Chains A and B, each alone.
Chain A
């Protein structure tokens, strides 16, 4: 009886008695496809960040450069209006400046994600800033032969952006309340509508509040995008 040896291609791993590399070729294809999809989402993420940073910067600048002096005076009324007359507007400028600073600082990380969508980021930056990808701990030996799941937008991304959402809506909401009072006044509390005199100041401030709410909408889109990207594919 002849022994027929059927040669099935053995890798070095199989010679050592470990599990065969069954999933290598399909995983490599999926790897390339996932990389293209992640690059697309990273580009959209970057565009959203730039737009939100521009809106936040516009809001802070529009509010911070308000100053109007009326050309007449009487004994009873102040005729100069600037943003720091109302502490709510000071809070608005500071909060939108913080949001702009965060978004501007996170743009380089977003760019790195586009260029190298599966890059591994230093661990110490994970808590503070957004990072590209986080190669999950590969302690399970059974997982080493399959492509590790790359969470290219990590948890800190979602957390930081939603803190920015909370800050921006607080600033926008409180300033909207004051702007509404400035436009309409309140008879019950005897608060006079100052917009009737300071119309330039009023327009600038109202525009700043609108820009803050645009920032909020863009940031919410960013949160949902980051959350959707966290899913396993």
Chain B
């Protein structure tokens, strides 16, 4: 008599893994919303800087705006592009919640997330370099620390960096989550 092929006492593994992947997709969605608020807040905080000092002399300008320095313009543009992309990728994230088994769309998402990570970190680090210079100056190159005059401008640009760095960390977590969801076997 031939043996009968019976699978005894084995829980269906695909249901368990799909459940975990759905949880991962929900966390992905929430993290994207956090990143959207962070990048948007950074862009707005930097973009609305405008400080005019109440005195003047012949030699030095006494009005500071973000577009006086092209790095800050790049910062605003990079954060705006990142927040626009994240809003659009929310749709893909919702699709992953519904259909947790999607693989190729996750690879596409990882590709664009990696590109956005590079863009956001380039913008944030460029602005951080200029903010550092603005706070400390540089004696070797005779660059003067402008924060000593423009207090409110300085505080605003320093604060707007925080949102951008938070968004950078969140993007790293997002890529890690997508890769983790990809690597779980079905």
Interface residues of A (CB under 8 A from B): 8, 10, 14-20, 76-78, 81, 85-88, 136, 140-143, 149, 151, 154-155, 158-159, 162-163, 165-166, 169-178, 180-182, 186-192, 194, 216, 220, 223-224, 226-228, 230-232
Q: Are B144 and A189 in contact (CB under 8 A)?
A: yes
Contact B68 A174 (CB under 8 A): no
B:1-47 near A, CB below 8 Å: 2-7, 10, 13
Nearest CB to that of A222 among chain B residues? B114
The interface centre, meaning the residue of B59, B104, B128, B140 with most chain A CB atoms within 10 A of its CB, is: B140
Q: With a CB–CB cut-off of 8 A, which chain A residues contact B180? A: 155
Q: Which residue of A has the minimal Cβ distance to B74?
A: A177
Q: List 25 A-B contacts (CB under 8 A).
A: A8-B2, A14-B2, A20-B5, A78-B140, A78-B141, A88-B129, A142-B10, A154-B183, A155-B183, A166-B168, A169-B122, A170-B121, A172-B125, A173-B126, A174-B125, A176-B126, A182-B141, A186-B69, A189-B69, A189-B143, A189-B146, A190-B60, A224-B111, A227-B106, A231-B103
**Contacting pair A169 B121 (CB below 8 A):** yes
Determine if B126 and A174 form an interchain contact, defined as CB atoms under 8 angstroms apart.
Answer: yes
Q: Tell me how many residue pairs across A and B have CB atoms closer than 8 Å.
A: 164
- Given that A136-B185, A189-B69 are known contacts, is A85 also in contact with B138, CB under 8 Å in the complex? yes
Instruction: Report B31 CB to chain A, min CB distance, Å.
Output: 15
Once the chains are docked, how many angstroms separate the CA of A165 from the CA of B69?
26
A175 near B129: Cβ-Cβ < 8 Å: yes
Q: Across the two chains, which residue of chain B brings its CB closest to A182?
A: B141
* Smallest CB-CB A-B distances: 10 pairs: A173-B122, A174-B129, A177-B126, A17-B3, A188-B68, A173-B125, A170-B125, A174-B125, A19-B5, A85-B140
